């Protein structure tokens, strides 16, 4: 009998592949292989997170580059969390996808220097519109189960961090309707935290 996590993984992959072209299947398989053995804090395979980010993109964004955005969403943590390089992604999936993933990749040295919240807030203000859509879809997935995630202290810290980032975004950059819709969804989830 298959584990529940494997069944959920197959369902997410099937949903994504049904909606987009066949090249997304190759990206999903690549990302799944690269994140093999990694898990989320709740125990599910890590790839369920990039797949949900891709689902969020499909839910909120209409674009002639939707396939590239979904591919980048599926791959968004590969440079940061696996042995994947920007060059690998560019060779396999093209310049736009690779550049988006590179733009979404955090600089750990800079985070250590200025702190994660300040780093992310500044980075997100300066991102391209496409990268910001993916980053917000990523944050939306991260807060989607915030009511039950980790400890109450962790939830409060993550909520404050997210609110700080969103305030800076709303104050310092022009936001598209897509950005605004995802930000509203994030705020709605944050409101569930005591």
Cα 112 to Cα 97: distance, rounded to the nearest angstrom: 27
Alpha-helical runs (H) found in the chain: 4-19, 22-34, 48-60, 66-75, 78-81, 86-93, 95-104, 108-114, 116-126, 129-143, 152-172, 177-190
Nearest by Cα to 67 from 22, 105, 31, 15:
22
Cα 49 to Cα 44: distance, rounded to the nearest angstrom: 9
Among residues 18, 22, 67, 80, the one annotated as catalytic is 80
Among residues 10, 26, 81, 112, the one annotated as catalytic is 81
DSSP string, 119-175: HHHHHHHHS-HHHHHHHHHHHHHHHTTTTTSS-HHHHHHHHHHHHHHHHHHHHHS--
Q: Does the annotation mark 81 as catalytic?
A: yes
Q: Which two tokens stand for residue 172?
A: 């310092």
Q: Does the annotation mark 80 as catalytic?
A: yes
Cite the active site residues. Answer: 80-81
């Amino acid at each position: 009998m298959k584990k529940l996590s494997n069944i959920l993984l197959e369902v997410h992959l099937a949903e994504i592949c049904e909606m987009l072209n066949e090249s997304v299947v190759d990206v999903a398989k690549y990302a799944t292989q690269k994140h093999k053995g990694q898990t989320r804090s709740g125990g599910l395979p890590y790839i369920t997170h990039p797949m949900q980010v891709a689902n969020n993109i499909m839910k909120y964004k209409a674009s002639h580059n939707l396939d590239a955005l979904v591919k980048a969403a599926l791959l968004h943590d590969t440079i940061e969390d696996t042995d994947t390089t920007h060059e690998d992604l560019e060779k396999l999936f093209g310049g736009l996808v690779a550049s988006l993933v590179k733009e979404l990749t955090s600089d750990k040295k800079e985070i250590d220097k200025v702190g994660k919240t300040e780093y992310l807030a500044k980075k997100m203000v300066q991102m391209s519109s496409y990268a910001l859509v993916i980053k917000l879809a990523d944050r939306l997935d991260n807060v989607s189960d915030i009511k039950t995630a980790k400890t109450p202290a962790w939830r409060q810290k993550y909520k404050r961090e997210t609110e700080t980032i969103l305030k800076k975004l709303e104050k310092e950059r022009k936001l598209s309707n897509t950005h605004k819709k995802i930000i509203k969804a994030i705020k709605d989830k944050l409101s569930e935290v005591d």
